[in-house]
Amino acid sequence: MISLTKLTKTFNGPPAVDDVTLSVPEGGFLVLLGPSGCGKSTMLRMLAGLETPTSGTIRFGDTVVADGARITPPDKRDAGLVFQSYALWPHMTVAGNVDWPLKVAGTPNRAGRVAEALKMMGIADLAHRYPGEISGGQQQRVALARMIAPRPKFLLFDEPLSNLDATLRVEMRHELSRLHKTTGATAVYVTHDQIEAMTLATHVAVMNRGRVEQFASPLDLLAKPATAFVARFVGTPPANLIPIRDGAWLARLPDAALRGATGHAMVRAEDLTLATGPRSLSAELMEAIPMAGQLLVTGAVGGHRITCVAPAGTPLTRDLHFALPDAPGAIFDIEGNPIR
């Protein structure tokens, strides 16, 4: 288990991590998801012991590893780390790199551990090569092998796949998932890629300006976004947030389903259709992207982008009409909090 209590880190300006309390069970996979600058890396660095919290507590299992400024050093946390840059030693072979943390810790049977980790990452045949002689994807596998060789109980990742090309990312995503399941370790994983978040996570913390906007399972995030920020950030494509005023769509199309509300109505792309009618919004075509046998059609309505999913091959003209569903998926007030 990893649990955080009122964890806060302030550098100079507003808090980078602001009063975060959450916990993930043993064997869980927590993804920290959010836009650039929201505090993901700062949080992970505090978990790793590379950054001292300003206040709050971090527990790994039953052990308190940070209580305000009293912290356990990184090498005493039973945690493996992998960052975006692999930081392999260039003058050591692949096997040498994987062996390094074991050597430092004085682990017995190092050769066996190294062989096991290389095999698990499918790179046993690269053992005697140097980092300069293997590809980026292979280097990342070496970094992962080095991480798991000491068999840590906690795995910490900061955007480990963002330097890889799209195909390799998919492959490595699967490898990471397998690695997590085989080792049974508890993982914390930073990303701003929500497909990674949705496929790997048991728990997701969506962060915004240092705070956790929502802590939930991937499916709950999609089904019940707690705030307008989460609704706008999660989902592929993300849900539409259409401005409403006094119960009218875009202040001009009154609707009983909105009952006097002002703020934003959430409408998922798959809940809109391209059709005219009394409850439709006129739009100007912006783009149409083929995706998974369908068409993602985006149009501008009074300066707002609205996206809907249409069947492949739908004929498109410059003028579009988005037919609204009977009721929005959620309604948020001006502050972004749910009204219902």
Ligand X SMILES: Nc1ncnc2c1ncn2[C@@H]1O[C@H](COP(=O)(O)OP(=O)(O)OP(=O)(O)O)[C@@H](O)[C@H]1O
42 or 97, CB closer to Mg ion? Answer: 42
Q: Are 338 and 227 in contact (CB under 8 A)?
A: yes
44 or 330, CB closer to Mg ion? Answer: 44
37 binds, among Mg ion, ligand X, none (CB under 5 to 8 A by kind): ligand X
Q: Are 87 and 131 in contact (CB under 8 A)?
A: no
Kindly indicate which of the ranges 32-40, 53-61, 75-83, 134-142 contains the residues binding ligand X, using the contact rule CB under 6 A. Answer: 32-40
265 binds, among Mg ion, ligand X, none (CB under 5 to 8 A by kind): none
167 binds, among ligand X, Mg ion, none (CB under 5 to 8 A by kind): none
How far, in Å, CA of 33 to CA of 236, rounded? 14
CB of 272 to Mg ion, least distance (A): 34
Which residues from 28-57 bind Mg ion, rule CB under 5 A? 41
78 or 193, CB closer to Mg ion? Answer: 193
Tokens representing 104 are 């430092």
How far, in Å, CA of 76 to CA of 70, rounded? 13
268 binds, among Mg ion, ligand X, none (CB under 5 to 8 A by kind): none
Does position 36 interact with ligand X (CB under 6 A)? The reply is: yes
> Is residue 218 reached through a cis peptide bond, with omega within 30 degrees of 0 on the bond before it?
no
11 binds, among ligand X, Mg ion, none (CB under 5 to 8 A by kind): ligand X
Q: What angle do CA 187, 99, 152 make, to 5 degrees?
A: 20
Kindly indicate which of the ranges 30-38, 230-238, 284-292, 316-324 contains the residues binding ligand X, using the contact rule CB under 6 A. Answer: 30-38
Start-to-end CA span in the chain (Å): 34
How far, in Å, CA of 196 to CA of 66, rounded? 28
Binding pattern to ligand X, positions 182-211, x when CB under 6 A? ----------x-------------------
Q: Which residues contact 46 (CB under 8 A, 6 or more apart)?
A: 7, 9, 17, 52, 53, 58, 66
Q: Are 186 and 26 in contact (CB under 8 A)?
A: yes
Closest CA to 179 of 144, 214, 215: 144
SS3 25: coil
40 or 169, CB closer to ligand X? Answer: 40
16 binds, among ligand X, Mg ion, none (CB under 5 to 8 A by kind): ligand X
DSSP state of 198: H
CB of 86 to ligand X, least distance (A): 17
211 or 304, CB closer to ligand X? Answer: 211
How far, in Å, CA of 327 to CA of 310, rounded? 19
12 or 167, CB closer to ligand X? Answer: 12
SS3 222: helix
CB of 12 to ligand X, least distance (A): 6
How far, in Å, CA of 299 to CA of 34, rounded? 26
CB of 18 to ligand X, least distance (A): 10
CB of 41 to ligand X, least distance (A): 3
Which residues from 37-66 bind ligand X, rule CB under 6 A? 37-42
89 binds, among Mg ion, ligand X, none (CB under 5 to 8 A by kind): none
Q: What angle do CA 298, 286, 331 make, to 5 degrees?
A: 35
42 binds, among ligand X, Mg ion, none (CB under 5 to 8 A by kind): ligand X
Closest CA to 234 of 261, 257, 210, 266: 266
Report the interface residues with Mg ion, using CB under 5 A.
41
Where do contacts with ligand X occur on this chain (CB under 6 A)? Answer: 11-12, 16, 34, 36-42, 192
